[in-house]
A and B are shown apart, each in its own frame.
Chain A
Amino acid sequence: MVNGILDFLWLVPALPLLGVILNGALALFAERPLLLREAGLPLPGGHGGGHGTGHGSHGSSSHGTSAPSHAGHGESHHETPAYRRLVSFIAPGVIGAAFVVALLCVLSLAARPAEGRTFVQILFPWIQAGSFLAPVGFQLDPLSAVMALVVTGVGFLIHVYSVGYMSHEPAFARYFVYLNLFMFAMLTLVLANNYLLMFVGWEGVGLCSYLLIGYWYEKQSAADAGKKAFIVNRIGDFGFILAVFLIFWTFGTVSYTEVFAKVPLLSHSGVLTTGLATAITLLLFLGATGKSAQIPLYIWLPDAMEGPTPVSALIHAATMVTAGVYMVARSSALFLLAPETMMVVAVIGAATAIFSATIGICQTDIKRVLAYSTVSQLGYMFLACGVGAFTAGIFHLMTHAFFKALLFLGSGSVIHALSGEQDMRKMGGLRKYIPITFITMFVATLAIAGIPGLSGFFSKDEILWQSFSSPHGSPVLWVIAAVAAGITAFYMFRLVFLTFYGESRMDPDVEKHVHESPWTMTLPLSILAVLSLAGGWVGIPAVLGGSNPFEHWLAPVFHPVAAGAHGAEGAAHHPAALELGLMALSVAVALCGIGLAYFLYRVRTGKPEEIARKWPTLYDVVLHKYYVDEIYEWAVVRRVVNVSVWLWEMFDALFIDGIVNGVADLARAAGDRVRRLQGGVVGGYAFSLLAGAVLLVGYILYRSVVQ
């Protein structure tokens, strides 16, 4: 046991898998029969699906009618079947245990010297064919350590939150099966020691995303959103798997350590040309644009908000969508060999950041604002990767996981309090009703807006500074990113003002029921608020008197080519005054955004509508998300459908069916001719017998005569 606790690294993904099995058994054998029995009863109102927060309707209909054992309990909400209590214990429990194991592993890793902080655990060979070997193995190094801790930590909090949030759902166990399965896939993704196993996790999280977006599958829009997410991701996954093929073709292996060890050798010997590196990295980045919702494949993420809100927080904000950033950072050695790809990544990142931020301004659905905000923040992470500041990208990934998960969970708490209302135009003045939700969400909003001292400030400013100062960066990228930061501050404070301040615009029916969420929901909110507040303190830059331990922690992963090289260079070429000045400028931009939001939504509340009336076309275009969905519908979806219809009618119906039916027709026509020989007259048969005999005898005689 020379590695101590690290030998138990496999437990980190295995524990969620155990949860999947246990909860799956409960879902199949305890919950499903119950739901089927309920569905079998012809009762008006049915069961309360459709909304995560439906009150009362489900409780009364199910308990009043199901089994005689429930008869005495009437409308009691507290009567939970035993399997539900078991599920709400197992599901967060396994994730919490995984978090503890991951934490112990990381602590043990941190005890090692910086150079030795790569631990690979091969469990068993998975695919072996000729020289190709893909094992099931896990790798813990500073990068995957950060990811594993974020995934299990935030994941655990969201599991706890889900227990409260989903408590009114009939399909309770099914939800947690999917959520645990997601954790298993995500941990496989981040802990895999080779690209192929990463791809397994990559596809696994895609599947869980699909299942959870379509959790309320009776609702057409949810089912459609699930399909959209899955199909759009296929495009990216196609790029990813092609990149893996190219990597194997070039390096003869798919394992990280071997690939990156061979990079310098192969690039010097000319096998790994810049063109080849560009091809590999562009294909990898295509995969990242799908999973991490970047232009041009971002369109699925806003629709993914059809899923339950904790899912939006966990999968579509904190973890899964950052998989692309992780993958790019993981492959940093390859990306740095392809300057064109780096530029593409930076430009796409910056463009996505500002593009989706502008869409966020006009959205009225609280979750959609956050969805576009997520797309925008992911753009920042890619901008960071594109300018070579992988550390900054991962740093922002981590802080974003904290404050965006908090924002989503807070919005879920708001929605829960308002019995399912998501339209911000029907909120307002919620500050005094749900104070814990308000305070925690306010902290997250300050963090995302980049107010100095909070986590978002340090990570975002690191990105801004790197996009300006790094050799791959440029002032143009800085301006775009800074403007996007201002817009972010604006729409986030718009959200807060519309939701928590001002007069109540709620339906009177809804207003009566407004209540603070149970502790299972407010506790995760509070913990995440602390993390959003303090999470950035691990990466305080040198110019502000910090030592940036986060960068030092990740340095062994990026050091050989990335962080060390231009981190030092950047500091050398640019005076601290410039860095501080830019920092002040970006904070000023953020404050302007906040001020504008205050002016428009607190002081002159009629002004936004006035502006919308003044430039109706502009407002319309932004409100409709620049009509991107419609353009895709026209330019891509229609075409694909048309080609498919053509293939169906021409190729399948005419060509393939033509061959099959043609052979059948031929046989039938031949039979139609031949059957006339069988006339039913015995004389005819006798004659053909005779003729045959004569011919045979004649032939034999002829042969004997000739010979």
Chain B
Amino acid sequence: MVEPSAYLLLSAVLFGIGVVGVVARKNVLIILMSVELMLNGVNVAFVAAGSYLGDAAGGVFAFMVMTVAAAEAAVGLALLIALYRLKETIDVTELRILKW
């Protein structure tokens, strides 16, 4: 039996890597992947907590997040392709027309 705190540590590390990826990277593809990493970090925490507490709700939430993540990935990648066709770049520092 692994300590629950270890799962939570893994979850925090995954989430932290994701956050750094979202904030620091310029490539939209990498940012999307980092978002997936954050979501999965959270999933780890859900499943661990559910297992520890003997509550099925944690697993249910994890599946829920996966579903949403799949949809988000589909929409996100579609936008990415459209963006690339329009601007011929996927560098977020160059995509800054949406401002006042």
Contacts and interface: CB of A to CB of B under 8 A. Distances in A.
A686 interface: yes
B21 to A, nearest CB: 10
A690 B19 contact: yes
Contacts of A679: 96, 99
Contacts of B22: 683, 686
B95 A678 contact: no
Interface in B50-100: 92-93, 95-100
B23 interface: yes
Interface size class of B (residues with CB under 8 A): 10 to 19
A680 B97 CA distance: 6
Nearest to A691: B23
A680 B93 CA distance: 9
B2 interface: no
Contacts of A678: 99-100
B37 interface: no
B31 interface: yes
Most buried by B among A675, A683, A690: A683
Contacts of A682: 31, 92, 95
Question: Chain B interface mostly helix, strand, loop or mixed?
Answer: loop
Contacts of B6: none
A681 B92 CA distance: 7
Nearest to B24: A683
Most buried by B among A678, A681, A690: A681
Contact of B23 (A675, A680, A683): A683
B100 to A, nearest CB: 4
Contacts of B24: 683
A687 B31 CA distance: 13
Nearest to B21: A686
Contact of A690 (B23, B93, B99, B100): B23
Nearest to B35: A686
A627 to B, nearest CB: 66
A680 B19 CA distance: 19
A26 to B, nearest CB: 63
A703 to B, nearest CB: 21
A675 B100 CA distance: 6
A683 B93 CA distance: 8
Contacts of B98: 680
Interface string A648-683: 000000000000000000000000000100111111
Interface of B: 19, 22-24, 26, 31, 92-93, 95-100
18 contacts: A675-B100, A678-B100, A679-B96, A680-B96, A680-B97, A680-B99, A681-B92, A681-B93, A681-B96, A682-B31, A683-B22, A683-B23, A683-B24, A683-B26, A686-B22, A687-B23, A690-B19, A690-B23
